[in-house]
Copies of this chain bind each other. A is one copy, B any other.
Amino acid sequence: MKNLLVAQSGGPTAAINATLAGVVASAKLSEKVDHIYGAVNGIEGVLGETFIDLDDKLGSAEQLHLLCQTPAAALGSCRLKIRQEEQLEQIVSILRKHEISYFIYIGGNDSMDTVDKLASYCRVHAIHDLSVMGAPKTIDNDLCGTDHCPGFGSAAKYIATTISEIERDCHVYAKKAVTIVEIMGRNAGWLTAASSLSRLNGGKGPDLIYLCESPFYPERFIQDVKQKLEEEDAVLVAVSEGVKTPDGKYVSELVQSAAVDNFGHAYIAGAARVLEDMVREQIGCKVRSIELNLMQRCASHLQSATDEEESRMLGMKAATAAISGETGKMAAVIRISDDPYRVKYDLIDISQAANAEKNVPVSWITPDGHDVTEAMTAYLKPLIQGESRVTYRNGIPETIQLY
């Protein structure tokens, strides 16, 4: 008996289930796979042997379609980082017990680290009948070795669309006002850069865009906003949650030291909230801050068809490779050209992806530090193209429940 086990890990995305669908599709097509299992809650579910049978739960084409439009990890997730040799020993023993020959782990940096450790363990202990393969996933787009990450395109499409809608909303009144939108990304500004795509149909988009890769100067920010306010009524700012002052301090920490609530707690505010107070204090006009929060990573109703398709292909690539005996690798997208947009799928050594972070190149940020260049737009634009055909029932998108 040769079974395939798949699990999901890390933060949810709108496309991580498309990758799961791809894994299942490839496994179904192969004669070398007897049963397809899913571990609930990632590697925690492997250690706890919480397996579910996907042969039936994802047996029909309709179920796979619904899976692709279901947000967040349908198999659940975890944040467990494997640190001990005994855990690896235990995992291998459990996989053997369930006659698993192929293990596909869909996730981000930490998950790829798990794949790396597990594959190394197998190599060192001469275990040749277990293939361990990674499939990438992260809205942050910070995985190395792949042109971009599944889940990022859909988050970028959500951000571009939402910023274009907010821009219209902000411009209805003939009054001076500043709106600051905080976008996910503690160390990588890719998602914040995607706010610039709101300009693709002629909209103005954000007047100012600050990525966390550029040092953030509060005084310069106030100057930038003042200047924009002279040019127009409504000023729209997009900012990474992880912007830092030149001395390496998160902007979100600037207010925390002193602000204390009724219970005597430090008041932890987001970057946009801190900047909102700064504008109110130093400029005095109407100002509002908005966090795109979880919505930017789980808005499956606004999936990018490109992202969905590529996410599925990467799941297929990872599963096919595992079934053909590859191990210790991650499926990756290699870009061939921007326009026409062409990619190919490849396998990279897992150590290339594990524990490394890909940041926005500084050359893709404009010299004034508050916008992105055309090279950035050329890179981002293809990733949000196409709208997934979402099935609605009773006025809301239909989803599937696996456990």
Please provide the chain A residues from 278 to 336 with a CB less than 8 Å away from any CB of chain B in the complex.
Answer: 280-281, 288, 290-295, 297-302, 304
Q: Is there an interface contact between A165 and B298, defined as CB atoms closer than 8 Å?
A: yes
- Tell me the complex Cα distance, A72–B165, Å: 8
Please provide the chain A residues from 309 to 365 with a CB less than 8 Å away from any CB of chain B in the complex.
Answer: none
Sampled A-B contacts (26; CB under 8 Å):
A41-B174, A70-B168, A71-B165, A77-B172, A77-B173, A161-B301, A162-B295, A165-B295, A165-B300, A169-B297, A169-B298, A197-B394, A200-B396, A201-B393, A201-B399, A202-B401, A254-B262, A255-B261, A257-B262, A258-B261, A260-B260, A261-B267, A263-B277, A265-B277, A291-B291, A292-B295
Q: Could you say which residues of chain B place their CB within 8 Å of the CB of A254?
A: 262
Q: Is there an interface contact between A79 and B261, defined as CB atoms closer than 8 Å?
A: no
Q: Is there an interface contact between B259 and A197, defined as CB atoms closer than 8 Å?
A: no
Instruction: Mark A9-30 against chain B: 1 for CB-CB distance below 8 A, else 0.
Output: 0001000000000000000000
Q: Is there an interface contact between B171 and A72, defined as CB atoms closer than 8 Å?
A: yes
Q: Could you say which residues of chain B place their CB within 8 Å of the CB of A173?
A: 41, 76-79
Q: Is there an interface contact between B201 and A396, defined as CB atoms closer than 8 Å?
A: yes
Q: Could you say which residues of chain B place their CB within 8 Å of the CB of A393?
A: 200-201
Partner of A395, one of B79, B197, B263, B295: B197
Q: Is there an interface contact between A255 and B259, defined as CB atoms closer than 8 Å?
A: no
Q: Could you say which residues of chain B place their CB within 8 Å of the CB of A288?
A: 294
Tell me if A113 is interfacial: C-beta within 8 Å of chain B: no
Tell me if A251 is interfacial: C-beta within 8 Å of chain B: no
Tell me if A3 is interfacial: C-beta within 8 Å of chain B: no
Partner of A255, one of B12, B77, B262, B298: B262
Which of A161, A169, A265, A399 has the most chain B CB atoms closer than 10 A to its own CB? A169
Q: Could you say which residues of chain B place their CB within 8 Å of the CB of A392?
A: 387
